Structure 1
Amino acid sequence: MAQSEVRGEAPAVEDTMSLTPKTSNTPARSGRRAGGRRAGGPKTDRRRRRRRVLRWSATVLAVVILGTTGAGYLYYRHLNANIQKGARANGDDSKARRTAPNAAGQTPLNILLIGSDSRNSAENLKLGGNRSHAGDPPLADVQMLIHLSADRKSAAMVSIPRDTRVDIPQCKDPDSGKVYPPTNDIINVTLARGGAGCTLLTWENLTGVYIDHWMTIDFAGVVRMADAIGGVDVCVNQNVWDHPTPDVPGGSGLKLTKGTHKVQGEQALQWLRTRHAWGDDLKRARAQHMYLNSMIRTLKKQNVFTDTGRLMDLADAATKSLKVSEEIGTVKKLYALGTQMKSVPSDRITSVTMPNKRDPQNGNHVVPDEAGADKMWQMLRDDVPFDKNGGKPEPAGNTGKAKPAGKPSVDAARLGVLVQNATRSSTEAAVRQRASAIGQVLVQKGYSRAQADASGSLAEDKTLVRYPSADLEGDAQAVAKALGIPMSSVQKSTDVSGVTVVVGADWRTGTSYPKQSKPKAGDLPDGSDAVNGSDTTKCMDVYSVYQW
């Protein structure tokens, strides 16, 4: 737990072991006269009782929250022992780069929240049903990126539907050591191909957004958290019962009457798992966003961060329910994340779903709608707010003066430049001879040693210029300038041995790099199904088959 900056507050938990009780030389006052009678009248007694209550409350707060005694330290250790941890990434094939700091030196924070459908415990099997999947590797049925802006004044929650077909990189299982080769499949299988670290890598390669941490939660964890919070308000426009039908087996079991209800425990899990009653998996993402927005509003109202008892219950439930990437695997760091999220006003929190379209290879799946999805990923990479309720944001990467371009190490005619064709995407094949075409453009501009890479096509959403070492940075910048590629796309990389132009899916035609328009705050693409965190009017429509 983060040490407070308020004067007079006790040290943080990490300082507990260095504390030793101090013995006062001041004699204790008994508060009694000779003969055992209390000094003063009834008012005095009430004041003394109030002081005793205040002293007792202060002692409990110090013991439980700040850990300034042995009991507090043991409780803190208990919470830390609850937390399961894992490697942040289970592979090396990441195409994401951190967003540059703003003028104040602040950077965005990205956390990937993963809901697992694991049925590998009696508790999860009871809640999840379908015993035929007991013992199977878990799937990542809920995937949501939580983006906190660099200034911590706005936030976004972005979902990718579980049946989205994407390129999945090579991943290694952290427990068995098994290596899974790259594949093209629906995104929810990533959890079974190397754990949460593989899901994170897949997101990074799809979006180009650097993800700092991941968290996973299973069925039982959702129930514990919902109980600890005390319930969350949800709303339906019609009576709903998500039950098996002759045509569609399964169902979450959710049964509610029209209107607003406070759901908790197993009923909260049913709300989050309901799909058929809403119509499809995309509507389920909307219901999940509405639940999380309502949960955040509930926590803000309860002010659990200053309520000792509630904070204890929530801390115990959270640490038992979550598995997290190892770099945030302590109570102090999780508490710090919670306080950062708490500081964002509800009307600056926006929940969206990745724009998508039906998969031409399988009507039950979807693929990214590239124009809309790419715009959303760019907004995340550039830290552009998803809402219009804030002032003018400090642009990411604005650190005052622009970094001066480096000086090329050799003349253009002597520099070897490799051009790679990375125009392939999850929905479109690579453009034939694209590397050769851009290589010829470089030759015409004086880079006579430029040549196309004949090793095969790659997949990259954005065109990049990569270089392996600092001495070639100026050369890479000069190549980018010659092609009209922005300096923000010039990156140092150990994956290349020389200056390399990676022609991405954003440059499939033409010999001049297309100018990219910068998105503005709140300018979300069509198909994002945005929900504002302060909107309490949203209710879910129920598909007619599941009304009663």
Structure 2
Amino acid sequence: MTQATDAPPRSRKAPRRSSRKKRVFRVVALVLLALLLIAGGAGWWAYSHLNGNIDSVDLDQAIGVDNRPAKVVAGAQNILVLGSDSRAGANAELDHGDVSGARSDTAMLVHVPEGRKKATAVSIPRDTLVTRPECKDGDGKTVKTANRVMFNSVYSVAGPACVVKTVEQMSGIRVDHFVEVDFAGFKGLVDALGGVNVTIEKPINGGSGGLKLDPGTHRLDGTDSLKFVRTRHGYGDGSDLGRIGLQQEFMMAMLSEIKRQDTFGNPARLYKLADAGTKSLTTDSELGSLKGLSDFAQSMKGVDPDTMETIMLPVAYDKIDRNRVIAAEPQAGQLWEALRNDRTIPASAKKSPATGG
């Protein structure tokens, strides 16, 4: 259920389109960091149970060692982060249209240079047309290569390992780790917190998910939080950009709630949150345990998500289908080469013809 509060709407300027697109990737990184810290902090308690919550994928086995790019800079780390949206079962009521299965709604390749004091996140637009390589799906069946497929469809057709293989093929960069954060997993996390306050400046008028909220501040339970982050047609102009804004709003509000409740000072609540949070994670096999997550979080503690440089993969509108984009060259090639070799990204590699940037 939703509950209106007496808190006044926050005063803020409308963000620029480019800033809003960039912030969502910082938000996903922040949520990932929060889950890692929750899992690591609770590792001393009920280790076996929490360990069993985490799904993992052996990338070398799924992709094949010989089919992967070589590591160029030993000390650097490349992490593929997916914000996935389950579109079946518990999420059938959400505002996503008539699409079944799951898709990777948010994808970014996070490059952490040697020394691990900063990070660069390259966002890959979900409508980018790519060549999907031959892959094995979750059942071990071969999925044949296909040209000109939408990037976010790779996940639903062939699973997360194939997304990793696709990114490695298009970038030439070895992906060291893979982390998937499922939006559906946040339902239990929100309920464990007792709800999350969100503030909106425009009304939400229902859409397929049926959520209706007036402008102002509302406290959402887990069920309505899921509807909130998936709202599209009932908010603003009905675009994905508006939905991204709502997802940002919710995720930042959830992090604020975790901090406000002093979660790490309350063992019972910490376990409850860790139980819910780890259920929303799928990782590569090296990170597929509380120890793996905790060690990884410790190794990355010098990286501040707020200072992360966010870059959108340079893209241009496809000449055949203007509703899709393709990687723009030579910019994309320059970007991938700089990251492969742990070098400063040239300004020319950050310009995207599709956005005029």
Q: Which residue of 1 aligns with 2:346?
A: 519
User: Which AA in structure 2 matches 1:380?
Assistant: L
Structure with higher helix content: 2
Return the TM-score normalized by structure 2. Answer: 0.70
Provide closer, same or farther for how the CA distance between residues 260 and 338 of structure 1 changes in structure 2, counting only shifts above 3 A: farther
**Distance in 2 separating the partners of 1:329 and 1:370:** 36
Q: Secondary structure at the match of 2:324?
A: strand
Deviation at 1:264, TM superposition (A): 5.8
**Distance in 1 separating the partners of 2:71 and 2:102:** 29
**Distance in 2 separating the partners of 1:328 and 1:125:** 30
Deviation at 1:171, TM superposition (A): 0.4
Q: Which residue of 2 aligns with 1:316?
A: 275
**Distance in 2 separating the partners of 1:284 and 1:129:** 11
User: Which AA in structure 1 matches 2:159?
Assistant: G
**Distance in 2 separating the partners of 1:157 and 1:289:** 16
Provide closer, same or farther for how the CA distance between residues 337 and 124 of structure 1 changes in structure 2, counting only shifts above 3 A: farther
Provide closer, same or farther for how the CA distance between residues 304 and 383 of structure 1 changes in structure 2, counting only shifts above 3 A: farther
Provide closer, same or farther for how the CA distance between residues 288 and 353 of structure 1 changes in structure 2, counting only shifts above 3 A: farther
**Distance in 1 separating the partners of 2:112 and 2:354:** 18
Instruction: Say if 2:134 is the partner of 1:181.
Output: no
User: Which AA in structure 2 matches 1:142?
Assistant: T
Q: Which residue of 2 aligns with 1:79?
A: 50
Give yes or no for contact 2:311–2:350 (8 Å, CA) kept in 1: no
Instruction: Say if 2:220 is the partner of 1:220.
Output: no
Instruction: Say if 2:92 is the partner of 1:125.
Output: yes
Q: Secondary structure at the match of 2:102?
A: coil
Instruction: Say if 2:175 is the partner of 1:206.
Output: no
- Bigger radius of gyration, 1 or 2? 1
**Mapping 1:272-421, distance limit 5 Å:** 272-276=229-233, 277=235, 279=237, 280-281=239-240, 284-285=243-244, 288=247, 292=251, 304-305=263-264, 307-340=266-299, 343-383=302-342
Deviation at 1:318, TM superposition (A): 1.8
Q: Secondary structure at the match of 1:364?
A: coil
Deviation at 1:207, TM superposition (A): 2.2
Deviation at 1:169, TM superposition (A): 0.4
Give yes or no for contact 1:149–1:383 (8 Å, CA) kept in 2: yes
Give yes or no for contact 1:234–1:290 (8 Å, CA) kept in 2: yes
Deviation at 1:257, TM superposition (A): 4.3
Structure with higher strand content: 2
Give yes or no for contact 2:188–2:222 (8 Å, CA) kept in 1: yes
Give yes or no for contact 1:127–1:219 (8 Å, CA) kept in 2: no
**Distance in 1 separating the partners of 2:336 and 2:194:** 35
Give yes or no for contact 2:43–2:291 (8 Å, CA) kept in 1: no
Q: Secondary structure at the match of 2:303?
A: coil
Q: Deviations over 1:37-86 (max 9, x none)?
A: xxxxxxxxxxxxxxxxxxxxxxxxxxx9464xxxx4xx111111222222
Q: Which residue of 1 aligns with 2:107?
A: 143
Provide closer, same or farther for how the CA distance between residues 300 and 144 of structure 1 changes in structure 2, counting only shifts above 3 A: farther
Deviation at 1:111, TM superposition (A): 3.2
Q: Which residue of 1 aligns with 2:33?
A: none
**Distance in 2 separating the partners of 1:306 and 1:342:** 20
Instruction: Say if 2:63 is the partner of 1:91.
Output: yes
Q: Secondary structure at the match of 1:211?
A: coil
User: Which AA in structure 1 matches 2:52?
Assistant: A
The percent identity for this pair of structures is: 33
Q: CA-atom RMSD, angstroms? A: 3.8
Deviation at 1:200, TM superposition (A): 0.9
Deviation at 1:321, TM superposition (A): 1.9
Which of 163, 178, 182 is the matching residue for 2:127? 163
Deviation at 1:316, TM superposition (A): 0.6
Higher relative contact order (CA 8 A, sep 6+): 2
Which of 113, 116, 134 is the matching residue for 2:85? 116
User: Which AA in structure 2 matches 1:96?
Assistant: P
Give yes or no for contact 1:354–1:527 (8 Å, CA) kept in 2: no
**Distance in 2 separating the partners of 1:289 and 1:147:** 22
Which of 233, 256, 270 is the matching residue for 2:227? 270
Give yes or no for contact 2:128–2:326 (8 Å, CA) kept in 1: yes
User: Which AA in structure 2 matches 1:519?
Assistant: P
Give yes or no for contact 1:91–1:170 (8 Å, CA) kept in 2: no
**Distance in 2 separating the partners of 1:351 and 1:312:** 33
Deviation at 1:308, TM superposition (A): 3.0
- Structure 1 residues without counterparts, runs of 5 or longer: 1-63, 245-249, 385-394, 396-517, 530-548
Q: Secondary structure at the match of 1:139?
A: strand
Provide closer, same or farther for how the CA distance between residues 528 and 360 of structure 1 changes in structure 2, counting only shifts above 3 A: closer
**Distance in 2 separating the partners of 1:110 and 1:129:** 27
Deviation at 1:182, TM superposition (A): 0.9
Deviation at 1:273, TM superposition (A): 2.5
Provide closer, same or farther for how the CA distance between residues 303 and 170 of structure 1 changes in structure 2, counting only shifts above 3 A: farther
- Structure 2 residues without counterparts, runs of 5 or longer: 1-40
Q: Secondary structure at the match of 1:380?
A: helix
Give yes or no for contact 1:116–1:216 (8 Å, CA) kept in 2: no
Q: Which residue of 1 aligns with 2:29?
A: none
Provide closer, same or farther for how the CA distance between residues 313 and 179 of structure 1 changes in structure 2, counting only shifts above 3 A: same
**Distance in 1 separating the partners of 2:210 and 2:92:** 15
User: Which AA in structure 2 matches 1:179?
Assistant: T
**Distance in 2 separating the partners of 1:149 and 1:321:** 27
Give yes or no for contact 2:57–2:283 (8 Å, CA) kept in 1: yes
How many residues align? The count is 310
Deviation at 1:216, TM superposition (A): 2.9
**Distance in 2 separating the partners of 1:109 and 1:207:** 11
Q: Deviations over 1:255-313 (max 9, x none)?
A: 44446666562344334334444653356456545655665666567664565344322
Deviation at 1:219, TM superposition (A): 4.5
User: Which AA in structure 1 matches 2:202?
Assistant: N
Give yes or no for contact 1:113–1:146 (8 Å, CA) kept in 2: no
Q: Secondary structure at the match of 2:339?
A: helix
**Distance in 1 separating the partners of 2:59 and 2:324:** 28
Give yes or no for contact 2:86–2:102 (8 Å, CA) kept in 1: yes
Q: Which residue of 2 aligns with 1:197?
A: 161
Give yes or no for contact 1:111–1:213 (8 Å, CA) kept in 2: yes
Deviation at 1:190, TM superposition (A): 1.1
**Mapping 1:231-246, distance limit 5 Å:** 236=200, 238-241=201-204, 243-244=206-207
Deviation at 1:320, TM superposition (A): 1.7
Q: Secondary structure at the match of 1:144?
A: strand
